[in-house]
């Protein structure tokens, strides 16, 4: 789960990590209403889950009310890498004298957190890393151990950080590590970590990625996730512990399966044959007939769906439960045609149940056979 910047700042403030103290607007009108509530000059930062927003015009400055109104209208009509700006974080502009970089991320190869610090940072950090890798100090942090003072001392010494910034650096790095561990992060990044004109360190930007498998621990992050999810079918599927995935605007095929690997294989083969999948739904494990009915209902609410391909490998999931769920849904699926591949527990029972619905359901012997059936029927 990738947090937007304003949410990262909320978490930073919760840990007393020095950062920008601003407000978030969900419309141009809300942003304009911040006149008088946030001192000028004001920085206006579009909130999108992608990089490069600064170079795309997603960060603007306002010196007065007139500029605020102009920039508010501009930002809420802006798209950054095809993503519309739906929220803007506004704060008092910080006067800075230097930019640095600090992050803690998970190195999956060694299964450890790693702290990365550079005395230079900002939008060109990737270029710095490529052209001057010696400017990056990297240290691995043993799991289940507190951040040691000698580790931070090494980072500061190796980077040549000025003595006058070291107390602030230790404070911020320690709090960032607490956030990383307590929020089950894959990444906690401050870029840039700036020196203000008052000589203090401040997190000017924040990026936090949280392990999806740990979201059950963090109610505030789950609420945030639902808040920024614009597709109502994604939210409805989530309420049943399904994963609904919008894929393409074009296309009329939906894929339902029990596992991300099965879904990806299905989509890949369908796409290779020139057909387009508009959405997919991951059932997870142990789907009952009632859950199958809900899954089919949710997918059928997408008006583009004309065909549903169910690719089920039953282990914990029983094929007869799948079949009963399909049969119980046919009357509500209107003209939607189903291609069903069943494999695994109680396969024969499941196939026998579906034989009576041959006018609405076509049985496939396997994944490739199911894709061939789709191709022949849809004329791709």
pLDDT given at position 349? 93
- Give helix then strand counts, H and E, for the chain: 13, 18
Average confidence (pLDDT) over 121-134: 75
The confidence score (pLDDT) of residue 287 equals 79
Task: Label residue 293 exposed, middle or buried (CB < 10 Å: 0-12, 13-18, 19+).
Answer: middle
For the cut 70, the answer to whether the pLDDT of residue 49 exceeds it is yes
The secondary structure of 296-313 as a DSSP string is HHHHHTSTT--EEEEEEE
pLDDT higher than 80, residue 124? no
Q: Strand, helix or coil at 136? A: coil
Q: pLDDT confidence of 230, banded at 50, 70, 90?
A: low
Least confident stretch, 98-102, 287-291, 315-319 = 315-319
Q: What percent of the chain has pLDDT over 70?
A: 99
Could you give the CA distance from residue 256 to residue 270 in angstroms, rounded to a whole number?
Answer: 13
305-329 pLDDT, tens per residue?
Answer: 999 999 998 777 889 999 999 999 9
Cis preceding-peptide flag for 263 (omega within 30 of 0): no
**Number of other residues whose CB lies within 10 A of the CB of residue 37:** 9
Q: Evaluate whether 323 touches 349 at the Cβ level (below 8 Å).
A: yes
Inform me whether the pLDDT recorded for 7 exceeds 60: yes
Euclidean distance between CA atoms 78 and 85, whole angstroms? 6
Rounded CA separation 223/355 (Å)? 43
Neighbours of 153 (CB within 10 A): 12
When mean pLDDT is compared over 227-231, 235-239, 323-327, 358-362, the highest value belongs to 323-327
Q: How many residues does the chain have?
A: 380
Torsion of CA 345, 347, 352, 353, to 10 degrees: 50
Q: Say what percent of the chain tops pLDDT 90.
A: 72
Q: For all residues of the chain together, what is the average pLDDT?
A: 91
| Token pair 């939906």: residue | 254
**Separation of alpha carbons 185 and 133, rounded Å:** 25
Check if the beta carbon of residue 135 is closer than 8 Å to that of residue 122. no
pLDDT higher than threshold 70 for residue 8: yes
pLDDT at site 133: 76
**Mean pLDDT on 240-245:** 91
Q: Name the DSSP class of 35.
A: B
* CA-based R_g, the chain, Å: 26
Residue predicted with more confidence, 201 or 335 = 201
**DSSP for 154-174, written as a single string:** HHHHHHT--GGGHHHHHHHHH
Q: 351-355: long-range contacts (C-beta < 8 A, 24 or more apart)?
A: 351/319, 351/323, 353/320, 353/323, 353/324, 353/327, 354/323, 354/326, 354/327
- How far is the C-alpha of 247 from the C-alpha of 262, rounded, in Å? 15
**Averaged pLDDT, 32-54:** 92
Burial class from Cβ neighbours inside 10 Å (0-12, 13-18, 19+) for residue 66 reads: exposed
> Mean pLDDT over residues 42-50, rounded?
92
Cα(9)–Cα(19) distance, integer angstroms: 7
| Nearest by Cα to 281 from 322, 233, 323, 320 | 233
**Secondary structure (3-state) at 196:** strand
Q: Which domains does the chain show, CATH number per domain?
A: 21-93 (3.30.1490.20), 96-219 (3.30.470.20), 232-378 (3.40.50.261)
pLDDT score recorded for residue 307: 96
pLDDT of residue 263: 94
Q: What is the pLDDT of residue 65?
A: 97
pLDDT at 290 over 70: yes
Name the packing angle between helices 289-300 and 232-239 (round to 10°).
170
pLDDT at residue 380, as a whole number? 53
Residue 284's pLDDT is 83
Beta bridge partners, 223, equal none
């Amino acid at each position: 789960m990738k947090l937007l910047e304003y949410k990262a700042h909320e978490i930073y403030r919760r840990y007393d990590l020095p950062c920008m103290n601003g407000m978030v607007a969900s419309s141009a009108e809300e942003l304009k209403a911040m006149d008088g509530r946030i001192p000028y000059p004001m920085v206006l930062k579009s909130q999108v889950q992608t990089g490069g927003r600064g170079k795309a015009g997603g960060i603007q400055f306002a010196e007065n009310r007139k500029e605020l109104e102009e920039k508010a209208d501009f930002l809420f009509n802006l798209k950054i890498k095809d993503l519309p700006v739906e929220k803007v974080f506004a704060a008092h502009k910080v006067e800075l004298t230097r930019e640095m970089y600090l992050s803690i991320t998970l190195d999956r190869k060694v299964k450890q957190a790693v702290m990365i610090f550079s005395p230079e940072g900002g939008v060109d950090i990737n270029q710095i890393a490529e052209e001057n890798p010696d400017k990056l100090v990297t240290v691995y942090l043993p799991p289940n151990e507190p951040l040691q003072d000698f580790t931070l001392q090494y980072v500061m010494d190796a980077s040549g950080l000025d003595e006058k910034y070291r107390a602030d650096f230790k404070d911020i790095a320690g709090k960032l590590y607490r956030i990383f561990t307590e929020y089950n992060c894959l990444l906690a990044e401050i870029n840039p970590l700036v020196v203000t004109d008052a000589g203090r360190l401040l997190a000017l930007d924040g990026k936090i990625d949280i392990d999806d498998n740990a979201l059950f621990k963090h109610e505030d992050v789950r609420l945030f996730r639902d808040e920024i999810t614009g597709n109502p079918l994604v939210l409805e599927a989530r309420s049943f512990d399904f994963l609904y995935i919008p894929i393409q605007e074009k296309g009329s095929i939906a894929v339902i399966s029990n596992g991300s690997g099965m879904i990806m294989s299905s989509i890949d083969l369908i796409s290779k044959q020139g057909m387009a999948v508009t959405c997919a739904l991951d059932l997870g494990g142990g789907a009952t007939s009632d859950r199958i009915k809900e899954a089919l209902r949710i997918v059928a609410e997408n008006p583009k769906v004309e065909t549903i391909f169910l690719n089920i490998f039953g282990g914990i999931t029983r094929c007869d439960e799948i079949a009963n769920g399909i049969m119980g849904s046919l009357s509500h699926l209107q003209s939607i045609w189903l291609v069903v591949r069943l494999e695994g527990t109680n396969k024969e029972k499941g196939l026998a149940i579906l034989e009576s619905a041959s006018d609405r359901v076509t049985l496939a012997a396997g994944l490739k056979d199911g894709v061939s059936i789709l191709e022949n029927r849809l004329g791709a």
